[in-house]
Amino acid sequence: MPDSSDSEHQDFTAALVPSQSLSSTKSNNVSAQIDFLEPSNQDSSESELENFDIEKQIRQQNKKQKSGVFSSMGLNQNILQAIKKKGFNQPTPIQRKVIPKILEGKDIVGMARTGSGKTGAFLFPILHNLKQHRQQVGIRALIFLPSRELAVQIYNNLIWFLKNSNSDLRAGLVVGGDSLESQFGLLLTENPDIVVSTPGRLLHLAVEMELNFSLVEIVCFDEADRLFELGFAVQLFELLNRLPKSRQTLLFSATLPESLVDFVKAGLTEPEFIRLDKDMKISDHLRNAFFFVQSQYKDAALLALLNKTGKKQTIVFVSTKHQVEYLSLLLSTLGFQISSIYGSMDQSARHIQMSKFRKALTSILIVTNVAARGLDIPILEYVINYDFVDNPKVFVHRVGRVARAGRSGWAYSLITTEDLPYLIDLQLFLDKPLVCGSSSDAQTDYINSLVLGQIPFDSIEVESEQVIKSIDSDINLENLLKVAENGQIKYKKTKHSCSSASYKRAKELVDSKQVFLLHPLFLDKSETFSGANPGRMNMLLSISNFKPQSTIFEMGTRGKKLNSTPAGLASTKFRAHNTEYINKTREKREKLAQLNQTKGEFVEDEYYINYRKEGADTEKGYSMLKGTTFEEKAQTAMISLSADDGFEKSNNVMRWDSKKKNFVKGLGIGRDNKKMITTESGVKLPASYKTNKFKEFLSKSKIANVQVGQLEPTSSTNSYSGHQTRKRFIHTKTKEKSTIDEKHIKYDRINRNGKNKTKDNKNPRAKPNTKVKSELLSAEQIRKKRSIKESNKKRSTRPSKKHKK
């Protein structure tokens, strides 16, 4: 405790002590002084005890107040200095809860909203627990991530903290897209303590190099729910079988299911489940706006929203890579600076595109869901969902790219008629009211409600004409549009289905025409165009929603002409025969409409017991498998037995390929005809995981294959820890001039060569030696050589070589 605080405590305790015990009066009578002082000693001893108790309580209270800082968590001083240098003064709630538990060695399942500091929550304790680099070969910590961009971001943060904490720990990045040879060299020569990786590439290296993970102490899964979904299940299952059972396991994500059954495969042992911000799924600084548009006007609506952002950093999410290519060319044609990323793009191209956007060389980033998780771009202010999500979790991760760490941001979403049920599911998941339109923009709460409205056609009329003109004038753009539309049809077939209640409510919204109300963000602009004629929007709305009462067979035929055609005659007979049924149906619809208008609330909270669990919609959104498709239902019902090979029999059906003259699986192309290998744990992997590339690398590089547990070679370097950087080697050693004995047999030659060297000429090779015989022939020498060759040819009786057969 500092001295200043002690003095404050003393002053405070002195103020609490009665003035009678501290005051003394002067008296000339010595006995009176003695009589006065004797009881005061007892009082003073009691007051000192009281003062001590009060001061102890104050210290404990101050200690409780200061327990929320990084210094009270037990992190070492170097890491604390690096944290302070980074600008982090106070830990976030997830860091305050998680870091002490990780330092105790417990398994953690942590959940907090995006931008809440989950990266620091696992990086700081990992650096503290590993302490320093070991000379023993072997990986000690693994950090798994679902995408390459997120892995690069975590790796860069890790390197920054290693440098600024003066740590000699070594880190390595292992992601797909980079060359295998460079990653072979990384693991063999640099002996990293921490490896940041994607599951697929690390498993490839583990099978190819026969890696041993026996020294792994900590395993961290960032974006754990995405990692454990179907796409990474095989890789993670094999990797987890190779890891030691005594490891410490950490799982983090912004969306986690409440039940830990989904994470049994991770090998958790008595984990601490820390779930923060459960009711705050998205940032409280994020403003949401949803725009109802028709499908053919989505491009024009996107242009209107981009013009509204004012060329600020914006990320646009689409569903397929074909949409990325189409929108990139369209917006580039219209003069926007574009970067684009999708999953199958080359790794170097993805790095270039992302670096351009981070450096603000481009203002718009068009991506698929590959960038929906984890990426932290501080300059990002807007997110636009061009294609709406089919899962509330994906929406949370998408809009989580903005409004991070206390900053504000906007999230715009384009909603078509097909997307309305998914918006209802999202509204139930977020537990926020859905507001359709508003009287003014100032009265609308975009943070605590979901505001849905229509973009007026006047606002996108110019943009719509620009899109049509661009497509008509560019054949490449027209072809990309057709490909994108075909890809969208395939994508819609794979979307998750909503609940029947959401479809019903979406239909009610469309029938009530509430979705056609103007959005508050476009009220001012629409009033400048059509404010003078308010009936114009109502007329356009009625035309767009017009449904004819007659059938297609009765179009254009009335009166006597109605029965002039066979189709018209058939429809007339049908109406006459089913008149009673048609009238009853109309009456039933009118009664239902009246009941909906007079519908009241008959539920009393005091006596009503809800038939659904509180927060059931939230848990449904968090769950990894919705159970709506056949594969998901079958997975929940499937029982795996060791002796049951019925599934293998159906998968191993072969057919004869007449072209290849061989039996092949399925159609004989792609994944159906891949050769597989079986690992020790029984997992089947592609045969491409095990090749001779590592053996070829060892033979070419002459690097020793040091096994785990052995001491690392002396050539092992760490080019990124502490203040060390890899520089070009420059020879600086100097040597005195040697003296030559005069009796040496080559004294004259050495002395003669030494005289030719001047003091200024430090490099004798820079000056040509004039005594070297020239190899260039003169014209006379060339003529003489040719004449000798001709005379020799005439003398020889052997035939010429060019006539030789």
| 384 and 457 co-located in one domain | yes
Whether 348 and 254 share a structural domain: no
Whether 202 and 124 map to the same domain: the answer is yes
The CA-atom distances, in angstroms, between 103 and each of 124, 253, 403, 433 are: 10, 19, 30, 41
Higher pLDDT, 561 or 344: 344
Average pLDDT over residues 723-729: 45
Domain assignment present for 375: yes
Please check whether residues 162 and 47 belong to one and the same domain.
Answer: no
| Nearest-angstrom CA–CA distance, 311 and 292 | 23
With bands split at pLDDT 50, 70 and 90, how would you rate the model's confidence at 720? Answer: very low
556 occurs within a structural domain? no
Q: What element of type H or E holds 140?
A: none
**Is residue 311 domain-shared with residue 414, that is, in the same domain?**
yes
- Please indicate whether residue 68 or residue 610 has the higher confidence score (pLDDT): 610
Are residue 36 and residue 59 in the same domain, yes or no?
yes
Q: Which two tokens stand for residue 713?
A: 């070679």
Span of 141-155, 302-316, 788-802 with lowest mean pLDDT: 788-802
- If asked whether residues 213 and 293 sit together in one domain, one would say no
In this prediction, residue 41 carries a pLDDT of 47
Q: What is the mean pLDDT of residues 357-374?
A: 82
Higher pLDDT, 347 or 738: 347
Q: Is the pLDDT confidence value at 587 over 60?
A: yes
DSSP annotation of 181: H
| Residue 577 forms part of a structural domain | no
Whether the pLDDT of residue 315 is over 90: the answer is yes
My answer on whether 186 and 224 are in the same domain is: yes
The residue out of 500, 523, 544 marking a domain boundary is: 544
State which residues form the domain around 456. 286-544
The whole-number pLDDT of residue 382 equals 92
Count how many Cα atoms sit within 13 Å of the Cα of residue 5 in the half-sphere of its side chain.
10
Residue 324 — pLDDT band, cuts 50, 70, 90?
very high
State the DSSP H helix or E strand holding residue 354, giving kind and residue range, or none if neither: helix 347-358
Q: Are residues 76 and 202 in the same domain?
A: yes
Total domains in the chain come to 3
Q: What percent of the chain has pLDDT over 90?
A: 22
Residue 421 phi/psi, 5-degree rounding, is -60, -35
Burial pattern 67-77, b for ≥16 Cβ within 10 A else e, equals eeebeebebee
Q: Which residues of 746-776 are buried (b: 16+ CB within 10 A; e: fewer)?
A: eeeeeeeeeeeeeeeeeeeeeeeeeeeeeee
pLDDT tens digit string along 202-244?
998 998 898 999 999 999 998 877 776 656 777 888 888 889 9
**Is pLDDT larger for residue 67 or for residue 546?**
546
Virtual torsion, Cα 764, 766, 772, 773, nearest 10 deg: 170
Q: What's residue 391's pLDDT? A: 84
Which residues have C-beta within 8 Å of that of residue 193, sequence separation ≥ 6? 130, 133, 134, 139, 140, 141, 169, 170, 171
Q: In the structure encoding, which two tokens stand for residue 65, read together?
A: 């107040």
pLDDT of residue 498: 84
Backbone angles phi, psi at 188, to 5 degrees: -85, -40
* Residues 434 and 308 placed together within one structural domain of the fold: yes
Query: Could you give the 3-state DSSP secondary structure of residue 491?
Result: helix
Q: Please compute the mean of the pLDDT values over residues 524-540 and round it to a whole number.
A: 54
Q: Is the pLDDT of residue 646 over 50?
A: no
Q: Could you tell me if residue 358 is inside a domain? A: yes
- Go through 320-352 and write b for each residue having 16 or more CB atoms within 10 A of its CB, e for each that does not: bbbbbbbbbbbbebeebebbbbbeebeeeebee
Q: In this predicted structure, what is the pLDDT of residue 774?
A: 74
Q: Which of 222, 253, 275 is the last residue of a domain?
A: 275
217 closest CA partner among 157, 146, 138:
138
Could you tell me if 15 and 157 lie in one domain? no
Q: Which amino acid is at 6?
A: D
Q: What is the pLDDT of residue 792?
A: 86
The residues that bridge with 654 in the sheet, in sequence order, are: 665
In a domain, 24, yes or no: yes
Residue 211 CB contacts under 8 Å (≥ 6 apart), including other chains: 139, 187, 205, 242, 708
For residue range 384-419, list pLDDT tens digits in order: 999 999 888 888 888 888 887 678 889 999 999 999
CATH number at 228 reads 3.40.50.300
Residue 95 lies in a domain: yes
> What per-residue confidence (pLDDT) applies to 541?
63
Does the structure show a pLDDT above 50 at 73?
Answer: yes
Top pLDDT among 100 and 563 is at 100
Q: What is the per-residue pLDDT for 35?
A: 42
Return d(Cα 463, Cα 308) in angstroms, integer.
Answer: 12
The pLDDT tens digits of the residues spanning 33-63 come to 434 334 444 454 555 555 556 555 555 554 4
Whether the per-residue pLDDT at 379 is higher than 80: the answer is: no
Please give the helix or strand (H or E) that residue 221 lies within, else none: strand 218-222
Dig out the tokens for 363 from the structure: 């203002």
124: tokens are: 């700081």
Residue 252: pLDDT band (50, 70, 90) is confident
Q: For position 644, what pLDDT does the model report?
A: 33
